[in-house]
Amino acid sequence: MSNKQFPTYKQHEKNKNSWFSIAPKRGGIVTSLVLGGEEILYLNKDTFHDSDSNVRGGIPILFPICDRLINETYMLNDKEYRMKNHGFARNLPWSVKTIEEDRSAITQVLESNAITKKQYPFDFKLTFEYVLKDENFIVKQSYQNKSEEQMPFYAGFHPYFKVAKKNLYYRTDAKTYFDVNDSRVKSIESFLDLTETKEALILLDNKQNNISFPIDEEKELLLEYGEEFKYITLWSDPGKPFICVEPWMAKPNAFNTKEDLQYLQPNETLHTFFKISLKNKGEK
């Protein structure tokens, strides 16, 4: 699937039937993830190759916001800034820092530039290491503030998982969710059905930093993540064979509400992680 405009890099785990592919110049997106011989990601290849489209599929990176801002604007120090849905990291080219065959790892970097500073007036450096270990896929993240002032942000991921059906039971300790379809808070009784749902469901009160769900009759995915990711958002597109289970640090429009923002002091770095594992149903 790699092309001259958006070349991909692939890493296999030694002696395992697992690998991943990543396209740094296409927003640093993970385009494929195979665990135990099974592809777990959905990818619309047409959107990948169309530089004017947001990629529908893979694992897009969300920074410095998740979801949308009201009117795509926010105020900072009495100045108005504009930013599109999910921020700019998923649309900008990242740089490959290291490729380590012996560790099945790739590290990529995104730094502030003239484009980012028009939307977000901070100097920053993001360093993401992707590694396969024992057929687990781990994204180790470092968010560094290189500015001379405090830097707010709320990051996340937007993974598209291939599924056989969308009416699923999620293993989570969350008891309630916010239904964006009708702007109501609802109780999680058992299954959550994304078959015809057009807008997202945001789990509100999970305390454990993990969630799992079946992808077919035999397998389920386990997602684990750092405590900074306070919310899990569920979304799908009716008629498409995927669900998105997205770890977010804050809810939509947080640059305006100021709720759950991460703040980094000058020269401070936040380190966190996101891990994906494929399990047999009932396996711990």
Looking at the structure of the chain, the number of domains it has is 1
Domain extent, residue 234, equals 9-280
pTM over 0.85: yes
CATH number at residue 189: 2.70.98.10
Domain membership of residue 173 (yes or no) is yes
* pLDDT attached to residue 2: 58
Domain membership of residue 234 (yes or no) is yes
- How far apart CA 109 and CA 127 sit, in angstroms, is 5
Domain membership of residue 41 (yes or no) is yes
Produce one character per residue of 73-91: b if its CB has 16 or more CB atoms within 10 Å, e if not. Answer: ebeeeeeebebeebbbbbb
pLDDT > 70? residue 197: yes
Domain membership of residue 1 (yes or no) is no
Summarize pLDDT for 7-33 with one digit per residue, the tens.
999 999 998 999 999 999 999 999 999
* pLDDT attached to residue 53: 92
CA distance readout (Å), 108 to 111, 128, 139, 154, 198: 10, 5, 11, 19, 33
Evaluate the CA torsion angle 107, 210, 261, 177 in order and state its sign.
Answer: positive
Q: Assign 3-state DSSP to the chain and report helix, strand, coil percentages, each to 5.
A: 5, 45, 45
